[in-house]
Amino acid sequence: MKISVLKESAPGETRVAATPETVKKIVGLGHTVTIEAGAGASASFPDDQFKAAGAEISADGGIGGADLVVKVRRPTDAEIGKIKAGAGFVSLLEPYGDKATIDALAKAKIDAVAMEFIPRISRAQSMDALSSQANLAGYRSVIEAAGLYGRAFPMMMTAAGTVAAAKVFIMGVGVAGLQAIATARRLGAVVTATDVRPATKEQVASLGAKFVAVEDEEFKQAETTAGYAKAMSAEYQAKQAALVTEHIAKQDIVITTALIPGRAAPVLVTEAQAKSMRPGSVIIDLAVAQGGNCPLSKPDELVNANGVKIMGFTNLPARLASDASSLYSKNVLALLPLLTDKDSKAFAPAWDDEIIKGAMLSKAGALVHPHFAPKSAA
């Protein structure tokens, strides 16, 4: 199978979908890999390292003759026009925010796999790109908060006096939230966290943080079978808001991470709550790309609200380009056997496999994922 790895074109995107380490393994499996010139430069993987691993380097990544094209982010219209019919395409496609792209992929008869739709099952953990990238985003969110916060994180006892530990509140305890908790704790902060999913209470406690939530009957049923948070009722949101309002006013740093697939991000920190924090406090909004958990957040722009610094990041993993690329490329490598004929090594997705069924958006010219396919084809 001929595999093409393209250079990312999205603004601020520094990641690359392959590394010299994964290229060497892919070539060892009997495939050929062509890297678009300069694709790994922003992630500190120069072309000569890819060459040494067995890849070819070309100006266009060999896209026209490729059986499988791989990126981190969605393809451009120009790239779709160069991919041959019947080929595969793998990336984080962000289909809820850009259906035009997946329509174009289907029209071009490209079999498109969305890495964010990899099912959250044990067998697919090594392919779960959302989790691998969210881990890094959670870590980096705390580092960014520390950079904006004008004080120290840990308690410090000096001859000149004592510096109090920073109070950090994590809202949304998914993969990113858990890593944020762990990182803030390592830096010496006093950490609290909240989530609508009851299973997270024990996880929060295991990391040495305190759980904050209204624990009523709705709270006990607030998780989907896939492990995602459900949208909560207005009544529950009001009760939780009252509790959170009091808590936020006492915090130095708030980090919000709550997302609901296919829907706008829920508002977790209102304008009034944000402005109730003392000057110099920091809010980091990881959901700003889907509308934000705080209405004052602006994508990749620092907002000052009554002295409170509010920063919404749309792509924190790109600020850890080398590690993010390494993890993402390993996710793709783990998926590769499900896209390959065992004997011929040709591109041949295992259509009946539940992982492929869950992640495949288009097949043979039609949208096939149940969230996007016409009713008759779903």
The percent of residues in the chain predicted with pLDDT above 90, rounded, is 85
Specify the 3-state DSSP secondary structure of 191: strand
In the set 67, 111, 128, 285, the catalytic residue is 128
Give me the catalytic one of 47, 96, 131, 186.
131
Average pLDDT over residues 311-323: 98
Residue bearing tokens 């993402």: 328
pLDDT in the model for residue 159 = 94
Are residues 216 and 232 in contact, defined by beta-carbon separation less than 8 angstroms? no
pLDDT band at 216 (very low <50, low <70, confident <90, very high): confident
**Higher-pLDDT residue of 237, 354:** 354
Catalytic annotation on 111?
no
Give the position of tokens 């305190």.
210
> Which pLDDT belongs to residue 376?
57
Among the options 9, 44, 58, 125, which is catalytic? 125
Q: Any idea which of 227-231, 265-269, 285-289, 319-323 has the lowest mean pLDDT?
A: 227-231
* Contact (CB, 8 A) for 125 and 369: no
Q: Which of 131, 370, 207, 169 is nearest to 285 (CA)?
A: 169
**CB of 130 closer than 8 Å to CB of 107:** no
Residue 73 annotated to the active site: no
Q: Which domains are seen in the chain, by residue range?
A: 2-127+321-367 (3.40.50.720), 149-314 (3.40.50.720)
- Sign, CA dihedral 274-278-279-285, equals negative
Q: What pLDDT was estimated at residue 225?
A: 61
Look at residue 229 in the predicted model and tell me its pLDDT.
65
Pair of tokens at residue 337 = 């056997």
Which entry of 60, 96, 120, 323 is annotated as an active-site residue? 120
Structure confidence at residue 263 as a pLDDT band (50, 70, 90): confident
Which is the catalytic residue, given 228, 263, 341, 344? 228
> What single letter denotes the amino acid at residue 37?
A
Instruction: Identify whether the C-beta of residue 169 lies closer than 8 Å to the C-beta of residue 141.
Output: no
Cα-based angle 304, 212, 189 (whole degrees, multiple of 5): 60
Cα 73 from Cα 97, distance rounded (Å): 12
Q: Would residue 131 show up in a list of annotated catalytic residues for this protein? A: yes
192-201, 275-284, 305-314, 345-354: least confidently modelled range: 192-201
Q: Considering the chain, what is the average pLDDT of its residues?
A: 94
Q: In which band, very low, low, confident or very high, does the pLDDT at 378 lie, cut at 50, 70 and 90?
A: very low
d(C-alpha 331, C-alpha 337), whole Å: 12
Better pLDDT: 223 or 68: 68
Residue 12: closest CA among 247, 295, 318: 318
Which of helix, strand or coil describes residue 342? coil
Q: Does 352 qualify as catalytic in the annotation?
A: no
**Tokens coding 247:** 């808590």
By mean pLDDT, which of 136-145, 151-160, 221-230, 366-375 is the weakest?
A: 221-230
Q: Which two tokens stand for residue 128?
A: 């779960």
Q: Are the C-beta atoms of residues 209 and 193 closer than 8 Å to each other?
A: yes
Strands 111-114 and 88-91: parallel
pLDDT band at 313 (very low <50, low <70, confident <90, very high): very high
Q: Is 117 exposed, middle or buried (0-12, 13-18, 19+ CB in 10 A)?
A: buried
- Catalytic residue at 139? no
3-class SS at 26?
Answer: helix
Residue 236 confidence class, pLDDT cut points 50, 70, 90:
confident
Angstrom distances, CA of residue 256 to CA of 28, 240, 259: 42, 15, 9
**Ranges 141-145, 163-167, 261-265, 352-356: which has the least confidence:** 261-265
